[in-house]
Amino acid sequence: MTHLANSTRSFEPTRSSSMPSIAESVRARSNANMDRSVGRVCTCALSLALRALVFPAVALTSRKLQRALLAIIVLNISWQIQKYFFLREDVANLGSMGGLQISLTNIALAGLYAAWLIESVIHRGSGEPEKQHLSAVTISAALFVLFCALSILVASDATLGAFEVSSVLERFLLYIYIVHKVGSREDLLFVTRVFLIGLIIQSFLMLAQAGGLLPTVDWYGIKARTDFAGDPRVSGTIGSPNTAAAYLAMSMVFAFSVLLSGVRPVDKFLSGAGLSLALLPLLFTSSRGGWMSFLAGFITVLLVSRSRAPRKLVAIAAVALVLVAISLSGQVQKRLVGDDHGSAASRIPLNKLALAMIEDHPLLGVGSNNFSVAMQPYLAHALTGDDFVYTVHNTYLRVWAETGIGGLIAYVWFLLSILQRAFRVWQLRDYVLAFMSLGCAAAIIGLMVQMNFEPFRGDAAGHMIWLFAGMVTVMYRLSLKSRSFPSASVSAVLRP
């Protein structure tokens, strides 16, 4: 018994000394498990963060997403969904761009350039990119942007100048993207189809507006007004009847040329539908400048294409135009020869005011987007108390007054370079691209006529100029290629 008791006592210290070691082992295992759990959570979180960063980058390289973003840009030319931040209504009411313009176009264009950058990094060193020679269109466009930016140095309100320079830069970037990333006929026809769909949608909206089905709207950047100066004039979501008429006139001339070309039946249907639906809205804008723009562009297409255009289509379009004009002759005559409440006469004093401003600031102008601010000292001498106070209703005089003689030369050179390149495409005799380039040129010719009566800025017509400039540049490049491979290029477009 004594031996057993001694044995039991001999084991007690051993048991008591092993308890701490077991607890420490359990604690160590728990810490290890916790460390592993924390590691897994951190790894999972890092993986999710990397995926969140990489997925948009990978998604932007998708061809479908890039086309969707490009379609948004083209459609927004007619929709004009945009908001102005830091808005100054006092200068906006006088014809200046009153705030920083953020639109669907800005956002989609940023996405396209991000995709372009990602693709450039991914494909770096994989092969030499196709060399793009600087054309007169690109050089003149870049010079115009430069003169707009330089004019801020002399502007009395540099913030206003920055608002417009950002808008001009956006349009220039759109032109650059079209030139470099629209690389095939199918891409070009995709842009054309989306553009025509935008025309059809806007025409429906204007017809609904004319019928009283669309009220005045101002909702999250979507704006539509139904009354201007006491007259019910339609404008859709574009902003004003005159700018809406400019958009419709240019679009209709382009649609007419597409209708005459050798595109697929679906493209002919879209162009014919757009041309037909837009005719009444153009008349309902009651814009004399818009009517002149359309007629100038329409006549240009007829004169240039007289030996190549399908005569039946030309005859049908001409007869339809005459019939609609006759049916609405009363409204047209009233607008042309009736009392316009001094609208036309009010432009003459504004032209004189602009010329006086140009005389004092001939080189760099008064600053981009600064006409409404700089004209204040001239009001007492150039205008009477009853005269209409607004930015000069002449785009050429406005550009000269705001950006100086350099800006005017660059802008006119830009427009003429587009025309020269478009008529060069016509001479290359690609049946599809020739008529499309003619439509772009004729539309711009019509707008150049209307520019004598309107101070166009970053509106629908302004965006169309830069879009057409890019498209014409692409058409020229593709036309040169089609001369080397005529059968392949034509069959790619005309295949059923």
Tens digits of residue pLDDT in 377-415: 888 776 766 667 889 999 999 999 999 999 999 999 999
- Cα–Cα distance between 244 and 280 in angstroms, integer? 13
Tell me what pLDDT residue 230 has: 46
Report whether 396 contacts 412 (CB < 8 A). Answer: yes
- Cα–Cα distance between 399 and 410 in angstroms, integer? 10
**Structure confidence at residue 248 as a pLDDT band (50, 70, 90):** very high
Closest-CA residue to 367 (of 149, 91, 172, 166)? 149
- Using the structure block, give the residue that is written with the tokens 């294409």: 305
**Residue 37 pLDDT greater than 90, yes or no:** no
Interhelix angle 185-210/241-260, nearest 10 degrees? 130
Tell me what pLDDT residue 355 has: 93
Tell me what pLDDT residue 211 has: 84
How many Å is the Cα radius of gyration of the chain?
32
**Which burial class, exposed, middle or buried, applies to 218 when counting CB atoms under 10 A from its CB (0-12, 13-18, 19+)?**
exposed
| Mean pLDDT calculated for residue range 165-187 | 95
Question: Per residue in 345-372, is it b (16+ CB within 10 Å) or e — as a string?
Answer: ebbebbeebbebbbeebeebbbbbbbbb
CA distances from 331 to 196, 233, 266, 305, 490 (A): 27, 12, 34, 31, 45
- Cα–Cα distance between 131 and 261 in angstroms, integer? 29
Residue 325: count of CB within 10 angstroms of its CB:
13
Tell me what pLDDT residue 162 has: 96
- More confident call, 232 vs 107: 107
**Residue 335 pLDDT greater than 80, yes or no:** no
As a whole number, the mean pLDDT across the chain is 82
- Cα–Cα distance between 261 and 281 in angstroms, integer? 25
**Residue 314 pLDDT greater than 70, yes or no:** yes
| Mean pLDDT calculated for residue range 276-295 | 91
| Mean pLDDT calculated for residue range 130-142 | 86
| Mean pLDDT calculated for residue range 51-55 | 51
**Structure confidence at residue 441 as a pLDDT band (50, 70, 90):** very high
Tell me what pLDDT residue 111 has: 94
